[in-house]
Every structure is written in structure tokens, then in C-alpha cells.
Amino acid sequence: MALSEYKQNMEQCARCSCCKFVAPPYVESYQYAIGCPSIGYGNFHAYSGGGKVITSLALTSGVIDYSEEMLKTVHACSMCGNCAVSCKFNYAEKVEPLEIIRELRCKIVEDGQSDPAHIQLINYLKREDNIFGGPKADRSAWAEGLGIKDALEEKAEVLLHVGCHYSYDETLWPIIRGAARLLQEAGVDFGIAKKEEICCGGRAYEMGYRQELASYSESLKGRVKEAGCKILLTCCSDCYGSFQQLYPIAGQGLADVEVLHISQYLERLTKEGKLSTGEKVPLRVTYHDPCHLGRLGEPSQPWHGTVKKVLNMMDVTDPPKDVSFGVGGVYDAPRSVLQGIPGVELVEMERIKEYSFCCGAGGGAKEAYPDFALKTALERIEEARSTGAEALVTSCPWCVRNFRDALEESGQQFPVYDLVELVLKGMGTVKKEGAQ
């Protein structure tokens, strides 16, 4: 749906400000009531989810035009989706702020108003099929020496989609190599697409590049089909969210394979007795729900239909829209894996699951406004510390990297782990053999 087609939704915004906070029933303290990192950064109403809805309406109504400041309000936003969850508590599908913001960004791109940092990422993507600009040929350099199958050459039950971040960020290689070692340890028949792997296209879409999502999703779906795998597994929350929410938007839903995130697969392997974490890891941890694994990982289908009036004027959708409230994300699997590691004690933050607070790295915000990403990450780390945890665990390369960068930049210390790293610790054997 083009932005202008959301006019009726935009007009439904009551400017109630719920989008700035976590969903109303879950405001449990003064300090952690805020749910939108963007309003926390920019303060003017335009930075909030509702503010961007107003901007969208003003833009499509010809009341305003582009300006540097307007674009900043749109791009200093990690597209984390908190606004949508909070708005829908009362308004269900009536406004749909996240869908509107996605469309606003697409319009910005179509109108040639992209953020320069985003243009650079897209240039990389076009050149090298990844948004980091690393050479295509090096896509599977991380896997050297691990003896992983080429899933496009040899049939494998599981296709591990690694994603751009793990492929090109060497600081994260221990995590992805560790994940591969865990799969090997559990005897999983898996492969990777090696240098044929491409970006999922999700980040491009969140930055407003609709066409890139269309083409990458089509190609990726083709590769999945070619591989003939049963399971499409990813360690990257961003890719997971793209497969579950964005591919259906692009008409490339992955209905023929089971899409799993590594946390879900580890949980399954543990339950099946194929993996066991016997080594004690005495650590009090708190778990950060990545947005794209949580509320943005909830499987959803785009809706095409009309709004009908019943009872003289009440709006109902025809056919009924399957409204995404965020509750169907992956929340239990990572927690269950963590709690399965002897010695690990899980303490929860206040903002969790569908009302989790973002790390600040998403939607191209980190590239366009690094100070936004830094501020947001530090706020979350502070919340993690407040639980008395000794470490923060998450399950997303973007979150891990952004937290670690923020800690380094601010000269603070607080251990940040990916879930896989803790499982590796719990499996002393793998650790001793070395995941590197």
C-alpha cells in the first residue's frame, strides 16, 4: 500500500502519546516507561510514532515539504515497532504507525530524499550483495576450516542463512563459528550458500528501498528452493524478522520451509537430547529481546481488503485483518535455552518481550545517526545493570555489536554475550576444542 493509501489510518491518530511509552498495561515504573527511542532522542513530537504519522499525513496532503529537520525526525528512528505495539493496545489496526513509517521511508527514497548514509549502504548492497561493502567472494570467509557443506551443491536438511553482519564483521565471527560448531556437535545436516548467499533485503526495506526487498527476497527464495532444504535457519534476528514479516509483504512468503532462529533450533536440539549443556556457568544474566526476533519477528501476512462500516459507522476490516500485536514473536525459546545452562540465573528487565526497549541499531539509524544508537544502547545497558545482572545476553548480531560499541565508546564495562556464546560456555567440550 502506498503512503497515500494510509490516509484514513493517519487521520485516526488521536495524538494520545501512547506510542512514546511501552504499552499502557506494562508501564511499571517512572524510569522505564518510555518505549520509543526516537522521541527520547529528539524530544519534539515529530520524533514519536504518532509524530511520524502526522508528518506522513502532512506530506501527502501537501501541507509540508521535505526539510533537513523533517528527514532527521524520520531517520533518527530504529524502526523498532514499539509505537505499533503500544498504539494497537487501544486502536488495533486503526492507525498502524509502523506500516505508515515504512511507507513514509519508501516515499522519501522514491522522492530522492534518502539519507546519505543509507545511500552508501545501498551502493554496497548493489555492488556486493551485502550492506557492509565486503567483497562477495569473502562471504563465507568466516567458515574457513569448519568443513561446512555448500548447500547449493550438496543437499542439506538445514540451510543456515548467515546474514551480512556475521559474514563481514570479524568481531562477531566467534559467534557464528560457534553456532556452526554447535550444529555440528548436534549432528545436524546443514549447509550454507557460501559466496552465493545474499543479503535478505530487510534492512534496505526498512530504510525505504522497497525494490531491493523485492529483488533480494525473490533471489533468496529461489536459492532456498534450489537448496531443497526443510529448514531455513538464521542466527540473525534481522534476517529472521525479514523472513517472517517482510517477505510476505514482498509477495515472497517462505511457506515451503520452516523458518527458525538459532534460539529456537537450539531449544529444539536440547529437547531432543542432541545438545546438552553440562558445564556450570555461574552467571546472573538478563536477556534483551531483539526487536526483529520479538515483536517484528511475529509471523504476519499483509492485508488486502476494505474497511466496512457496521452498526452504522464502526469500522471493521473485510476480510478480517490478522492484526499483529507483537505477542507472537520468539520470546520463550532463548529464555528456555538460557535457563537450561546450569548455573545461569535469568533476571528480567522491566521492558521485555513485545514491549522490549530497542538497542538502537535498527532501521539504518546507527549509520545515519550514530549518537542516537549510542544513547539508546546506553539506556538499555543501564536498565540491564539495574536488574543486578552481571551480563546482558541477546540473540542478534546488531544488538551485540551496538551494545559493545556503546560500551567501548563510553568507556564502560559490562559483559554482553550472544546466546550462542553462553551455550558454548555451557558446553565445555566445544569451548575446549575452540569455536574460533
Partner 1 sequence: MNIDQNAYDALQSLLGAENISVDPAVLMGYRFSGITFIESLVDRSAAFDPFGGPKPIAVVLPSCAEEVQEIVRICNRYRIHCKAQSTGYGGHAMPGVENVVMVDLRKMNRIVEIDEKNLYAVIEPYVTAHQLQSEVMKRGMNCHVITAGGNHSPLASATSFQGQGPTGFTTSCNQRNLLGAEWVSPTGDLHRIGSPGSDAGWSCGDGPGPDFRGLLRGFTGAAGGLGIFTRIGYKLYPWPAKEKLKKTGKLPVVGVETPENYKFHFAYWESWDEMTEAAYHIMESEVAYSTVRIPQDWWGWFLTPTNNEFYRRFQDGTLPITREHGMHWATLIAGRTKTDFEYKNKVFQKIVADTNGKLLELPAEDEAVLLLQMISPMYTQRLMRAKKSALGMGGPTLAQMESMSLLKKLYETDIDCMKEYVKPGGALMAAGPDGTWAWPSEPRKLWTESVHFLDETPESLAGATEYAGKVLGSIMKDRGSLAFDQRLMIGGVNDIFGPQLGNVQDWMRKIKNAFDPRNVSDHSTYISPEPPPPMPMPPVPEFK
The site for partner 1 (CB under 8 A) is made up of 11-18, 20-21, 23-30, 33, 43-46, 48, 51, 54-55, 57-59, 61, 63-65, 67, 69-70, 73, 85, 88-94, 309-317, 320-321, 323, 325-327, 354
Least distance to partner 1, CB of residue 204, Å? 24
**Residue of 111, 298, 101 whose CA lies nearest to 207:** 101
Q: What's the Cα-to-Cα distance from 84 to each of 7, 9, 261, 332, rounded to whole Å?
A: 17, 12, 23, 21
Closest CB to partner 1 among 94 and 161? Answer: 94
CB of 140 to partner 1, least distance (A): 40
Sheet holding 190-192, edge to edge: 149-150, 190-192, 158-161, 231-234, 258-261
| Beta carbon nearer to partner 1, 67 or 429 | 67
Nearer to partner 1, 67 or 171 (CB): 67
Spatial separation of the C-alpha atoms in residues 239 and 396, rounded to whole Å = 10
Q: How far is the CB of 25 from partner 1 (least distance, A)?
A: 4
- How far is residue 17 from each of residues 8, 22, 23, 84, measured CA to CA in Å? 19, 10, 11, 12
- Measured from the CB atom, the residue of 136 and 308 that comes closer to partner 1 is 308
Write down the least CB distance from residue 298 to partner 1, Å: 11
- Our CB check for partner 1 shows the closer of 40 and 134 to be 40
Nearer residue to partner 1 within complex by CB, 91 or 142? 91
CA distance 135 to 120: 15
Measured from the CB of residue 129, what is the shortest distance to partner 1 in angstroms?
35
Nearer to partner 1, 166 or 355 (CB): 355
SS3 content of the chain, % helix, strand, coil (to 5): 50, 10, 40
Tell how strand 258-261 and strand 391-394 pair up.
Answer: unpaired
In the bound state with partner 1, the residue whose beta carbon lies nearer, of 36 and 236, is 36
Residue type, 305: G
Residue 41 CB, nearest approach to partner 1 (Å): 10
Alpha-carbon torsion, ordered 210, 216, 221, 222, to 10 deg: 130
Least distance (Å) between residue 64 CB and partner 1? 5
Return the number of the residue (82 or 277) whose C-beta is nearest partner 1.
82
Q: How far is CA 126 from CA 30, 117, 136, 216, 248, in A?
A: 45, 15, 11, 10, 22
Identify the three-state secondary structure at position 79.
Answer: coil
Nearest approach in angstroms of CB 286 to partner 1 is: 18
Instruction: Give the list of residues 6+ apart from residue 169 with CB closer than 8 angstroms, or none.
Output: 132, 397, 401
Given a contact cutoff of 8 angstroms between Cβ atoms, the answer to whether 290 and 352 are in contact is no
In the complex, least distance from residue 292 CB atom to partner 1, rounded to whole angstroms = 18
Helix axis angle, 82-91 relative to 97-110, nearest 10°? Answer: 130
| Closer CB to partner 1, 69 or 154, in the complex | 69
- Residue 106 contacts residue 208 (beta carbons within 8 Å): yes
- CB contact at 8 A, 428 and 342: no
Q: What is the largest CA-CA distance in the chain?
A: 70
We find the least distance from the C-beta atom of residue 110 to partner 1, in angstroms, to be 18
